Structure 1
Amino acid sequence: MPRSVRSSDSTSVGTDGQAALSVRGLEIGLPAGMERANAVTGISFDLLKGKILCIIGESGSGKSVTANAIMGLLPKAISVRAGEIRLGDAEIVGMPDEALRSLRGRAVSMIFQDPLSALNPLMTVGAQVDEVMAAHDVGTRATRRSRSLELLTEVGLPEPAQMLHRYPFQLSGGQRQRVMIAMALALEPTVLLADEPTTALDVTTQAQILKLIREIQRRKGMSIVFVTHDFGVVAEIADHVVVMEKGHIVEQGTAEQVLKSPQAPYTRRLIAAVPHLTATDRVPIEVARREPVLVCEGLMKTYGGGRSLLDKVLPGKVLPGMFLGQKKSVRAVDDVSFSLGAGRTLGIVGESGSGKSTVGRLLTRLLDSDGGRILFEGRDVATLSEAEFRPLRPKIQMIFQDPFASLNPRSTIGTSLTVGPVAHGTPYAKAAEEARALLAHVGLDAGAFDRYPHEFSGGQRQRIGIARALMFKPKVLVADEAVSALDVSIQAQILALLDRIQRETGVSMIFITHDLRVASQICDEIAVMQKGRIVELGPPSQIFLDPQSAYTRELVAAIPGE
C-alpha cells in the first residue's frame, strides 16, 4: 500500500537510496491576479540515481513549472520563493547564470513539451544538434556532425542524413519532438528532464522512444524526471510516481503502489479517467441530412521536387547550414478517398509523417492539393480561388495540433476568439459573450478572456484552440490532435464536450489523432494511413478486433497500457 504524502511532508519516497536530484520545500510564486498565489507550494521529492521518476497531474498542476525550476529556466514573472533544489552537490536555487549554463546540457538536460517553439526556425536540424555540443566545446566539427547523424538515427528519424539539412517547419510534429530528444541526449547528461516528450508521437514511435530512453538510462545510469499525463506511459516506464494537484503533491510512491493501490481520491479519479480501447461502434446520431457533407476523391499532395530557389540563384554556392541541389519529392497524400456523413466522425490515425495532418490542411484549404476533388455539400472546393473559398471558410474549421504556434502571442485570448466572427459581421458584444461561454465550456475560468497565450499551460492553450474553432458554429470540424496535449481528466471532458456539441448541432468531424484509444471512443469510422495512403477503413469493431492490414495490427499492438 502506498503512503499518501502531503506537500507539508518533507519525507520522500526512496530517501534510503542515493539521490541524483533532491527537491525540498519548493515554493514558486505566481504574479498577482492569477488563479492561485503559487505555482507549487512546499513540494519535496527525490530522484534516485539510475531511476525514472514520473510526475503526473492535470494541466496547470505545476509539473512543467517544477521541471523548469530545476533547469533554472523560470521566466522573470515567477520566481522561487522558498526551498532547495540540489543536483548532486550543486544547489540550483540562487546559482549564478554562468554556472547554470555550464550545467545545462552537460549535467542536466531537458526535452521540452512544445518542440516548435523550442526549436530555432532559422537553423537546420543538424546545426541545432551541433550547437548543443559546440556550446560545451565538445569535439571537432566533423565529430559533432557524425554524432548528430548518430543521434538522429537513434531516435528513429527517417533518412537522417537528409534530415540534418532540413528546417523545423519541414517536419511533422512527431519528428520535431524526436529532434528535441536527440538534442537533449547529445551530451548524455546524468539527469534528464522530459516534459511530455511523447505527447506528439504516434503509438509505435512512442514505444520506440520509451524503449530508447530506458536503454540509455540503464546503459549510462542516467536519472530521469518524466513529466506526463499518460498513465499508460507511467505504467511502462516509471520506477516512482509523484502525483500533483494544483501545486501540491497529493501522493507519491513506487509505480506499482500508486497505480495498483492509489490512496488519494485525486489519484483514483485520474486513473479512472484513463482512456481504454473500446471496439464498440458508436450509436449513430439522428440527422435530417442523408447525403455526405464532405467527400474526398483521389486527393493528392506532393512535397519537394525540382531544385531549390537558392540553388537557382547561386548555382554551385554552398552556404553553411543550407541544403542545395535536387530536392527529393515526397508523396504526402496519395490517392486518398473517403466520405463524411452529417453528424458523423471519421478518425484518421497513423504514424507521424503518414500524411494525417496534411489531409486536414488540404480539407481546410490551408494547403492546395495537387489532384483529386474535395466536395463540400456537393461543391468542389479544391478548385476554388482563395477569394471564392473565403465565405466558406467559417463552415470548415480546424483545431490545430500546436496551440501555441496558432495563437497570436500579442493578442488576448478574447481578441483571438472574437476577431474572426467580428470580421464576418457578428457584433463584438455578442461574439464576446459567446467566447466567454465557450471558455467556460472547455474548462477555463472567466479571467482567461483577458489573458495572453504565454500565461497558460500547454493543455490550457489546447482548450483555447478548441473554443476558437467552435466560435464559427462550423458544419465540419477538423481536429488535428485536438486532445494530445491534455491530461486524462480534461481529455475525457473535451471528448465528452465534442460529443455533446456534435449531438446538439449535427456538426461533422475529422478527428486526426495518434492515440488509438481516443479514436476508438469518439469515431464512427477510422481510416488508417501509412506513407500517404489509406491502408484500412472501417468501424472501430473492425479496426481493433479484426484488423485486415498488417500495419493496423502493428499499431494496435503498440498501444501503451493495453
Structure 2
Amino acid sequence: MNENGSPSYKPHALLSINGLGVQLGEHVLVRDVSLQVRPGTVHCLVGDSGSGKTMTSLAIVGLLPHGSKVNGSISLANVHEDLVGLPRQRWADLRGRRIGYVGQNALGCLHPAYTVEFQLVEAIRRHQSLSAKQARATALAELAAVDLPDPERVAAARPAELSGGMCQRVALAIALSNRPSVLIADEPTTALDDETQENILTLIRSRAVVDGLGVLLITHDRQVVDDVADDVASIRDGVSTPGNKHTASPPRVRAARSAPAPDAVPALAVSGVSMTYGRTRRQRRNRPATLRDVSLSVDAGTTVGLIGRSGAGKTTLARIVAGILEPATGEVVIDGEAVAGPNRVDRRRKAGLVQYVFQDPFGSLNPRRSAVAQVAEPLVASGASAEEAEARALSMLTDVGLTPAQVDRRPTQLSGGQCQRVGIARALIRRPSVVVLDEPVSALDWSIRDEILSILGELQDDTGAAYLLIAHDRPLIEQQCDTIYEIADAELCQI
C-alpha cells in the first residue's frame, strides 16, 4: 500500500484499471475495481457468480450493455487515451489487434450463418495486410494451436455444427490470431474436458511467456488459479481486493437410488442412433460420423451420466433426445412411445415431459425478456394463469439462488452463472419426466454448485424424473450418477 492507502503495483503494466465502476439503471454492478496486468503474466480475477467479473471484462473491451454508466479509468500501454468513453471507431481499431477478448458466451460471439474459416480470416485481414491464401493458412494454424482436431473440417463448419467446447476454442483462436498485447479471457475453459483444458491453459501460459502477452483470466475454478496464476485479485459485490479469497465447498454426493422394478418401462430409451453432420447428402457421406449406433436407457428416478472429450458428440446426443435434431437412423422412446425415428408419434403429445438445460445459457434465453417472464412462460403455455405462473416462477428462481433484485433483469444484465440458473429454473418449472442436463453447473462457482445439485436431487426425489447428465467433470459424474457412459470415436460404451 502507498501513503494514500491505494494499492501499489509493479511497473510496466500493459493494462491498468483504477477505481472502475459500472452502473446499469439503478443497479451498481461494479464499484472501485483496481488491478494491473503486466507483460508475460497471467492475472486471475476470481469471485462468486454475479460478483461483477464479467461486467469488469466487458468494461475493459468496451462491450457493456447499452445504457451502462462507467467511471474510473482504464489505460492500455502505448495508447494515450483513457479507454473509458472511447469512441466506437477507435474501439474497432483496438479490439482484436491490441486487446483480444474471449467471452464467456463463446457461441454468442460467433456468427451462426458464417463458417469458422470466414470469421477467422475476416478477423485476421481486418488487422493484418495478408492475402486471402496467407490469412487462411494463418487461420488453420491458429485452429490447430488451440487443440482442435481436423482444422480443415472445423474451418468449413458453422458454429451450430460444433460443440460448446469447440466453439470456445474457436473464439480463443480468433482472439489470439492478431497477436494482441493483452488477452481478456472470461471463463475460457468451462466447457472443456480436463485434457483439453490443460492444453488450452498451457497454450495461454506459453503465449504469455514467449510473446510477452498480458492475460486477465476470469474464473471461478480454483484449480485453474493454482495452475496458471502469477497474480490474483478477488472480486466480491463488485469490489476487488488483492489475493485469492475464493474457496470451494465439497461437492454434494447424491444418495443411492433403489433399483427399478424389473418390468418397469424406462423413462428414456435411445436405440441405434447414428448422426453425421453436413448440409448436403454428399457432405454427410464423406464426413466421419458424430454418433454411430448409440443405445442407452434411463429409468425413472435415476441419473445416467455421459462423459467424453469436447467434440465427442455428447451435446449432439442430448439434442436428439430433446427433439432439436433428427437422427439419421435409430429411435428415441419416452415413456414407451417413440418421439424420434420411423415410428414416432406427434412430439407435441410429449410437450413438457422432456426439458433441456443448455450448455450455452445466454443463447438459450430471450435477451428481451426478464428472468421471471422466461421461467413463467412454460406455465402460461400449459394453461396456468399469469398470476399463478409468476408466483411459481419467483419461487423457483429463489430456489436456484437468484435475489429479488435479479429476477426482473434481462440476460444481458446477468452473469453467465446467473443465466444458467435461470435456464435450470425454466427447465424444472413444469416438473418434467426427463431432464437433459448439458453441463448444468460448469459456469457456476463452488458456493452455488452444491445448492443447484441439491435442488436437482430434491426434484428427482419428488417427481421421479429421469436425468441425462452431461459433463466433462468426471468426479461430478461419479458422485451424481447411477450409470455412466462414455462417448469416444462416435461410439458409446458403459464404464
- Shorter-chain-normalised TM-score: which range? over 0.9
Change (3 A) 1:97 1:307: same
Match of 1:189, as an amino acid? P
**SS at 2:389 equivalent:** helix
Q: Is the 8 A contact 1:356 1:529 kept in 2?
A: yes
What does 1:202-281 align with in structure 2 at a 5 Å threshold? 202-249=193-240, 251-253=241-243, 258=244, 267=245, 270-273=246-249, 275=251
**SS at 2:247 equivalent:** helix
- 1:23 is matched with which residue? 17
Q: Is the 8 A contact 1:305 1:328 kept in 2?
A: no
Percent identity of paired positions between Structure 1 and Structure 2:
37
Q: How far off its partner does 1:240 sit?
A: 1.1
Q: Is the 8 A contact 2:330 2:341 kept in 1?
A: no
Counterpart-to-counterpart distance in 1, 2:344 and 2:297 = 24
Q: How far off its partner does 1:195 sit?
A: 0.8
Q: Is the 8 A contact 1:304 1:328 kept in 2?
A: no
- 1:425 is matched with which residue? 383
Structure 2 alignment gaps of length 5 or more: none
**SS at 1:241 equivalent:** strand
What does 1:491-530 align with in structure 2 at a 5 Å threshold? 491-530=449-488
- 2:98 is matched with which residue? 107
Structure 1 window deviating more from structure 2 (149-158 vs 360-369): it is 360-369
- 1:558 is matched with which residue? none
2:409 maps to 1:451: yes
Change (3 A) 1:410 1:17: closer
- 1:317 is matched with which residue? none
Match of 2:480, as an amino acid? I
Counterpart-to-counterpart distance in 1, 2:429 and 2:164 = 26
Q: How far off its partner does 1:286 sit?
A: 7.9
Q: How far off its partner does 1:296 sit?
A: 2.5
| Corresponding residue to 2:123 among 125, 132, 140 | 132
Change (3 A) 1:306 1:60: closer
Q: Is the 8 A contact 1:9 1:44 kept in 2?
A: no
Change (3 A) 1:402 1:52: same
Structure 1 window deviating more from structure 2 (511-520 vs 464-473): it is 511-520
2:70 maps to 1:80: yes
| Corresponding residue to 2:7 among 4, 8, 11 | 11
- 1:462 is matched with which residue? 420
Q: Is the 8 A contact 1:289 1:342 kept in 2?
A: no
Counterpart-to-counterpart distance in 2, 1:413 and 1:195 = 22
Q: Give the 4+ runs in structure 1 shifted more than 4 A.
A: 285-290, 305-308, 384-387
Counterpart-to-counterpart distance in 2, 1:534 and 1:183 = 32
Q: How far off its partner does 1:288 sit?
A: 7.8
Change (3 A) 1:182 1:472: same
2:262 maps to 1:304: no
What does 1:362-381 align with in structure 2 at a 5 Å threshold? 362-381=320-339
Q: Is the 8 A contact 1:108 1:192 kept in 2?
A: yes
| Corresponding residue to 2:151 among 153, 160, 163 | 160
- 1:190 is matched with which residue? 181
- 2:365 is matched with which residue? 407
Change (3 A) 1:44 1:411: closer
Change (3 A) 1:9 1:389: farther
Q: How far off its partner does 1:17 sit?
A: 4.3
Counterpart-to-counterpart distance in 2, 1:281 and 1:493 = 12
- 1:554 is matched with which residue? none
Counterpart-to-counterpart distance in 1, 2:248 and 2:263 = 37
Q: How far off its partner does 1:463 sit?
A: 0.7
Q: How far off its partner does 1:409 sit?
A: 2.3
**SS at 2:101 equivalent:** strand
- 2:54 is matched with which residue? 64
**SS at 1:271 equivalent:** coil
Q: How far off its partner does 1:305 sit?
A: 7.7
Q: Is the 8 A contact 1:364 1:393 kept in 2?
A: no
Change (3 A) 1:301 1:469: same
Match of 1:125, as an amino acid? V
Q: Is the 8 A contact 1:302 1:330 kept in 2?
A: yes
Q: Is the 8 A contact 1:10 1:25 kept in 2?
A: no
Q: How far off its partner does 1:327 sit?
A: 6.4
Q: How far off its partner does 1:449 sit?
A: 4.4
**1:223-260, Cα deviation, whole Å (9 max, x unpaired):** 100001111111111111111111012x423xxxx4xx
- 1:178 is matched with which residue? 169
2:29 maps to 1:54: no
Counterpart-to-counterpart distance in 2, 1:446 and 1:385 = 46
- 2:257 is matched with which residue? 284
| Corresponding residue to 1:482 among 440, 446, 451 | 440
Counterpart-to-counterpart distance in 2, 1:389 and 1:110 = 41
Q: Is the 8 A contact 1:360 1:478 kept in 2?
A: yes
Match of 1:138, as an amino acid? S
**1:137-190, Cα deviation, whole Å (9 max, x unpaired):** 432222111111111111122221232222112211111111111111111111
Structure 1 alignment gaps of length 5 or more: 259-266, 309-324, 538-562
TM-score, length basis structure 2: 0.92
